[in-house]
Chains A and B, each alone.
Chain A
Amino acid sequence: MTRRALLGSAAAAGLAVAGCSSSSPEPAATPAPPDPQTVLLTALIADKERLVSLYGRAVAALPGRAAALEPFRQRHTAHLEALRALLPPRSGTVPASPAPPGSPPASPSPSASAVSVGDLRNAERRAASARPAQMATASPALSQLLASIGACEAVHVVALGRVRD
């Protein structure tokens, strides 16, 4: 609720919000190329989905750590939902995007290898450190969201140090 208010303040400052065309002066009449924000969001969502699935693999590999890891996974799921909420409605059918720049190549198959807490930590660190660059071309609302998500991921890096066995 207050999060939306915060995002709203960016919009009120006269800044365009991704997916919100109500204040946009020109309603793209021609079939436009893919909206860069949608492309970016789609890549970010795919990234986040990989992170969530990484946690799934870690829980499978480390049943003794499942309870400790679950809150982390839940927060990533919340991030995923927040990112998806910024997608324009009609882009729900956007095909899976290629990996965004800077992200590792397609994740190996789920059973390829066991995932350790250290792997999670590295993934969180990579995710957090990639946020500033991703924000450069993001809409103001998305930039703000990414800053917050990156902060959570940075905290995760530290917090996972307490889970490590």
Chain B
Amino acid sequence: MTESATAPARTPAVDALGRALSAEHAAVYAYGVIGGKTSGPLRRRATAGFDAHRARRDQLRTLITQRGGTPTEPDPTYRLPFEVRKPADAVRLAVLVEQRLTTAYLELAADRDPALRRIAALAAQECATRAYGWQPEIGAFPGMNRDGAGSDATGSAGTGSGGAAPSAGAESPAPDASDAPDSPDGPDAAEPAESADAQPSSADGQ
């Protein structure tokens, strides 16, 4: 990419793409942490998530460049919303990351460009599905924030009000995720985890 000293294209699309890219950068970082604190099936799930987010990150970079923007580079480090010491922390962080990304993609879904909308729709579905894989809770409106705007999962100036934990049951050590076979992506990846039925979590929209 050439260095464009002139005013970069600050279109709404590039802005929304840039925010999605920032969120993907943070997700890649977070998944590195998550992978480091997990093993076995959880580790494989983390690896799959890491790869998926790297792929989306690269796709977003390309889209931004194609539209005359300059993709941001990742920060050297990110402040996590809480200390990740145990696998349960890693699971909680993964859920937070996916929720945050879903929100970023919903923003992109409002763009005028139908191609970007399509990408956003698919990415939002993937993120929501991954979040469910980590923790089987379902909201009616994924990505439409339940955990107030300030509590960043992944870095950007998180205020972390009230401990930054989302409404998701943080105290449960994600029992089912640990014994579920690894099937990270895709609506077809049915997971035969009998222990945890989908909990009727409160609707997101409220």
Interface residues of A (CB under 8 A from B): 1-3, 5-6, 9-10, 13, 15, 68, 70-72, 74-75, 78-79, 82, 124-125, 128, 131-133, 135-137, 140-141, 143-159, 161-164
B128 within 8 A of A: yes
**Interchain CB contact (< 8 A) of A151 among B12, B107, B124:** B124
B187 within 8 A of A: yes
**Interchain CB contact (< 8 A) of A148 among B112, B138, B143:** B143
B200 within 8 A of A: yes
Report chain B residues within 8 Å CB of A143.
109-110, 117
- Bound form: Cα–Cα A1–B191 in Å: 33
B204 within 8 A of A: yes
B188 within 8 A of A: yes
Chain B, interface size: which category? 35 or more
Query: How far apart are A55's CB and chain B's nearest CB, in angstroms?
Result: 14
- Bound form: Cα–Cα A137–B118 in Å: 11
Report chain B residues within 8 Å CB of A150.
121, 124-125
Q: Select the stretch in B34-42, B49-57, B98-106 that faces chain A.
A: B98-106
A131 touches B203 (CB 8 A): no
- If A132-B121, A135-B118, A147-B124 touch, whether A6 touches B144 (CB-CB below 8 Å) is yes
- Bound form: Cα–Cα A42–B174 in Å: 40
Q: Which residue of B lies closest to A148 (CB)?
A: B141
**Interchain CB contact (< 8 A) of A162 among B106, B140, B144, B190:** B190
B198 touches A71 (CB 8 A): yes
B132 touches A159 (CB 8 A): yes
B169 within 8 A of A: no
B190 touches A154 (CB 8 A): no
Q: Which residue of A lies closest to B139 (CB)?
A: A152
- If A6-B144, A149-B141, A152-B139 touch, whether A162 touches B121 (CB-CB below 8 Å) is no
A161 touches B190 (CB 8 A): yes
- Bound form: Cα–Cα A157–B185 in Å: 12
**Interchain CB contact (< 8 A) of B198 among A132, A141, A159, A164:** A159
B122 touches A132 (CB 8 A): yes
